[in-house]
Structure 1
Amino acid sequence: MRLLDAKRLEIFVRTVEAGSVTAAADELSYTVSAVSQQLHRLELELGHSLLQRQSRGVIPTEAGMMLANHARKILRQMDATRADLDDLAAGKSGSLVVGAFPTVAASFLPLVIETFTSQYPSVDLSIRSARIDTLIAELERGSTQMSLLWDHPWRPISVEGITIDELFREPFVILVSKNHRLARASEVQMKDLADETWVVRADAHPVVEVLDRAATSAGFRPSIAMYANDYQEAQAMVSAGIGVAMAPTGAVTLRHPGVRSLSLGDEAPVRRILVGQRDERVGSSAEIALRRALFDTAKGMVPS
């Protein structure tokens, strides 16, 4: 079998994801004829039918699905290689692009940046805040040199080709209104909250699973009063007495004046704050320095 052509693989993946040859041609600014020709050549090279034509487009065959999965990985690796070589050619060793998720970008990361930039003021540092699936994809493509990630101890994250190290663990806390019966307490147990209504994050946010697990362990199912779009909205609703809420510590660094934060003590669920980098990447001096700043700052965070 001859070596596969990268552009041909890209055309195939775009066609699978777009669901039609015409849509793929539009995305790639090719003619429909050119895309069809490249797909036909790919099928001849591999000796397999890769796409099944339907009245409204195409779907991959079993062989096509297998090729698409492998091709996506190959294309991400090629993007990452180009990014590394571009950095080298452009002399960008003094430039860093770091991925982060919103709550850590609003709490832990500013402390790291303050330390890092005071020591390395000439480094051009950029931050990309996104959901975790996007953060991982950008790491794989080489769009970011490192990224802050998170997981829970009961479901540790693992990504082929990415080295992941734990920075620290942060506990979840309970948020109540300043007028709540428990507002003067510093610590509470989940069983004390069995009769409460809850404000949780919308769109199947991970905090919903954390709450469900904690409540189940305490012998009750939480009654949901509202699904909030973000933690600021959740805090506002808690302050108004709509319900109580659970949140990771880093999500409530900026606390609503009408809200009190209560510890769950030893029974508090935790999430792990992580740093990820591609296995094969050789870090620049700026990356090494930033990684050191991450771990140095993490030493001052809440211990597990």
Structure 2
Amino acid sequence: MTLDDLKVFVMVCEARNLSAVAREMNCSQSAVSQHVRRLEKEVGLTLMERQSRGVAPTEAGRILQRAASDGLTALGEGLRALEELRTGQGGGVVIATGATTIRNFLGAAIKEFCRDYPEVGLEFHTERSSHRCLEALRTGAVDLAWVTITAEAAGTQGVEQRPVISLEWVLAVRAEDPLAGETALAAEDLARTRLIRPPTGTSSGRQVEDYLGAHGLPPRATTTRATDWDTALLLAEMGLGHALIPAVPGLVGQCADNVRLIPVGGIPSLDVGWAARQWSALSPAARQFADTVVRHVAGD
């Protein structure tokens, strides 16, 4: 049993597809299968079973997957800590974020952290969605991911989530708009809007789609999709529609004087926060950065 055998086995368990792992490793499917067969021979049990679409771990395979995932994560963090000890450097923290996260959530915390820990480097990987942030986390490309907290992601193996803030939804309208005088809106009121929705394929977009679909938003309500919350707010400021956005503290602070934000009741709040492969295995620098962000965001 080698370290490579375990790494490949975990990848197969997560992908549920031998050819997908082979493409990622730039090798043959047969080479991937050999890693799994070596493990099965050593433990004397079948670890993978074929299904109609790909493969899946057996009960024995799931036991080994959990143990191997935890072990590989701990080993990786341990090796990084040893490297920091060897070089005398504080190391760095790699974070996956969405397109608007730094401006709207992390800015003040980043300034404070860089001032207090100048020897620690911060590296940000911008992804298009929380799903892609979690994928970067699971593959070990990043230490932390700032994501929308969902029940679906909570069931993802090898990922631990910690909610930080719960955001209500608001509708951004120009001051001269007939809706600007409203103090609160409900789903049926959105039928009177030229709605600018969150981007499709994102956690926030799916949440809004599910809610509006359940309430039968009339088709006469013209809709536009923005690539991110900043863009949605900008389009509303230009008078090109009414932007349905979460009440992100940083985003709210960007509103022009001619824009009003009206609470929209009924839509489930959007929970956002941190995700990590294993909190107990995070480096001290990563934990300190995560805590700094929590203090700034949750305290707003």
Contact 2:77 2:282 in 1 (8 A): no
- Look up the match of 2:195: 198
Query: In the TM superposition, what is the alpha-carbon distance from 1:262 to its structure 2 partner?
Result: 1.4
**How many Å separate the matches in 2 of 1:34 and 1:268?**
49
Structure 2 vs 1, CA of residues 291 and 208 (structure 1 numbering), >3 Å: closer, same or farther? Answer: closer
Conservation of the 8 A alpha-carbon contact between 2:90 and 2:119: no
Alignment of 1:154-303 (within 5 A): 157=154, 163-183=160-180, 185=181, 187-190=183-186, 191-212=188-209, 221=217, 223-239=221-237, 241-250=239-248, 252-253=251-252, 255=254, 260-264=259-263, 269-277=268-276, 278-281=278-281, 283-284=283-284, 286-301=285-300
Provide the aligned C-alpha RMSD in A: 4.3
Where 2:112 maps in the other structure, the secondary structure is helix
| Residues in 2 aligned to 1:155 and 1:11: alpha-carbon distance in whole angstroms | 24
Distance in 2 of aligned mates of 1:47 and 1:225: 55
Q: Cα distance, 1:228 vs. partner?
A: 2.9
- How far off its partner does 1:144 sit? 3.6
* Paired amino acid for 1:81: A
Q: TM-score, normalised by structure 2?
A: 0.70
Q: TM-score normalised to the size of structure 1?
A: 0.69
CA contact (8 A) 2:100 2:230 kept: no
Are 1:151 and 2:144 matched, yes or no?
A: no
Query: What is the number of equivalent residue pairs in this alignment?
Result: 286
Check 1:200–1:182 CA distance in 2 against 1; reply closer, same or farther (3 A cut).
same
Q: CA deviation at 1:252?
A: 3.4
Q: Which runs of 5+ in 2 are unaligned?
A: none
Q: Letter of the aligned partner of 2:163 in structure 1?
A: E
What is the distance in 2 between the residues matched to 1:204 and 1:220?
20
Q: Percent identity?
A: 16
Aligned AA for 1:116? F
CA contact (8 A) 2:190 2:217 kept: no
Deviation, 1:237, is 4.3
**1:231-261 CA distance string (max 9 Å, x none):** 3443454455553221112373575759724
Higher helix share: 2
